Amino acid sequence: MEAIQALTNYLSINRTRIERLRELAPKSQQDFFDLLALLFHLNAEELPGYISDDTPVGIVDYQPSNAVIDAAKLLNPHFNYKRRPFRHYPLSGVYLIADQGIINTPETAEFELWLVHATEEPHQAELLQQKLAEIESWARSLDITLHTRLLSEASLSQNTLSAEDLSRFYLSGIVLAGSTPLWWAISPQQEESDYRQAATSITQQRLLGHAIVIDFGPLAEKSTQHLLNQSASLLLSAIDQGLNLVLNLAYTQHLLDSSINTSDLCHQAKHALYQGEKEPLYLDSNTLKLQAVMASPTISDDNKLLAQQSLYVLFNERLSQNVSQARYPWRREFIKQLASSWQWPQHLSQVLDQRDNSSYRQCFSEYEQVSKLLLVIRESLNQFAKKYALNIEQKNQSLNHKYQLFHNVAPDTIPYLPSALLPKNTDQEIYLSRFHRDGDWLISDIPLLSEKEQPLFKAASLLNVLSWAVRNHILTKANRLKVADHSELIAASLVLKLVQQLLRSPLSEQAPIISGLILNEPAKLDQVMIFVNLENEGPQDKLSQQGLVVSS
């Protein structure tokens, strides 16, 4: 494929990416994608980001469309746009990095914005930096987290960008306005042979015609320390996230096991582009990660299946349900074709489609599967650190600390599922049973006929079982508890009073997601609750003689 044709195909995919990001976003955020470039193209007091008339404006090869101008007028009816030519264009391009891809919009939208300028005066760069800060503030008002970065054209030739940053940019970067990255005009074969020579040849011979390009440079070898840090951070956050992060986890295992001597995802995207691929979803980071995972010889079939499920969940298209008119036809059709190639058991997509209504048993099953994968990746991470002589002691301490929060089986602790995995809907009726005086208390979502049946949880202490049920949102204010104590020592009314007390305690509240920063903080006492030991016969007579009573 010729360079000019590759660039044309890339820009077509780029336009579709912008349109789909806008389509996926909530209505209140859609104009964000339309207006970003315009805000840097002019100084308008009526629009967000205005600093002063001295701030450099004017993006090369950009003219706002009528739709963009209408969006600006909708934001501020006093805005009036006058088209005018610029003597020179100090801004080379505005680029948005969407690391999450274009298959879905997360609850908290987060992007990175790169602004490249060609000014040489430090004062003008300071004004642009101030403008970026104002744009960040405007984005926050739309519930968008925007990280900004100001780059000069001169700095690009000095290799100021890390290999990791360039990889993210080429894989998930979107050109909002301005020059197109030259990297996409250099074929995979040319890049492998001599990137610099190919770049010089293309620009000097004007092989791209009138297309305006900018050279961010070739990819360099990635840092082993960066991969270690990134993997440990992902593991720390994935412990309490369930299926949603499994795809990233499996891809991380692929990188660790292959000692990062593997083709970068953006190289895979470029290969697909040069083979004529025009569907942006085939070039999406999530799809490419799954391709790498499925081809990896070190990842088990069970974990490959988990990675497929993770991608399916990210698409958020419930294929087991008939839909007369899909909200995003392009997305539904893509995952439908992809899922058919996986040859899943017939019931699997239905189970995943009903995750929001999952019972505790289903939630716990998912948690156990993901936990096994985490242990495998931790082993890969330790082997990777050993191979490259990297210090992993502190990261292992944090991982061990967080792991213990959910896996500590000591008798004085209450095990619980992470908040993200707790059932969102509770069963209407919960059953508490004890079959003989010295037996365990059992709590279940179905009636139990004997203690040999499998409950949700069991323990010798009634208080322990009830605390577990409240902590895991099995017992809530919305369901009913049926008590069957065959030893007839504990009255149902007393059990219900205990439950009411526990429901008023912090145990019933949503547990926060535990970040690395919180792990490093010392433990603190939230609330002390003292309960009488109801199941042991105490020396009541002696207490009475001393004027004391047993109370909770």
Determine the pLDDT at residue 548: 55
Distance, CA of 508 to chain centre: 26
On the question of pLDDT at 530 being above 70, the answer is: yes
The four Cα atoms 125, 126, 130, 136 give a dihedral, to 10 degrees, of 50
* Alpha-carbon gap, residue 305 to 342, rounded angstroms: 9
Q: What is the pLDDT of residues 351-405, one digit of tens each?
A: 999 988 888 899 899 999 999 999 999 999 999 999 999 999 988 888 888 888 7
Q: What is the pLDDT of residues 415-435, one digit of tens each?
A: 888 888 888 877 789 999 999
Min mean pLDDT across 7-21, 70-84, 127-141, 300-314 is at 70-84
Whether the Cβ atoms of residue 344 and residue 288 lie closer than 8 Å to each other? no
pTM for this prediction: 0.89
Residues 6+ apart with CB under 8 A from 131: 39, 40, 49, 50, 51, 55
On the question of pLDDT at 126 being above 90, the answer is: yes
From 11, 14, 179, select the one nearest 89 (Cα to Cα). 179
Kindly provide the b/e burial profile for residues 20-50, where b requires at least 16 CB atoms within 10 angstroms of the residue's own CB. bbeebbeeebbbbbbbbbbbbbbbbeebbbe
| Residue position matching structure tokens 């990635």 | 222
On the question of pLDDT at 86 being above 90, the answer is: no
Token duo for residue 450: 């004997």
Q: What is the pLDDT of residues 185-231, one digit of tens each?
A: 999 999 988 999 999 988 888 878 778 999 999 988 888 999 999 99
Distance, CA of 127 to chain centre: 33
On the question of pLDDT at 246 being above 60, the answer is: yes
Whether the Cβ atoms of residue 211 and residue 4 lie closer than 8 Å to each other? yes
* CA distances to 178, 244, 267 from 256, in Å: 37, 20, 18
Residue 552's pLDDT band, with cuts at 50, 70 and 90, is: very low
Number of helices followed by number of strands (H, E) in the chain: 20, 10
Compare 394 and 286 and report the one with higher pLDDT: 286
On the question of pLDDT at 278 being above 70, the answer is: yes
At 175, is the secondary structure helix, strand, or coil? strand
On the question of pLDDT at 512 being above 80, the answer is: no
At 40, is the secondary structure helix, strand, or coil? helix
Determine the pLDDT at residue 536: 52
* Alpha-carbon gap, residue 476 to 101, rounded angstroms: 37
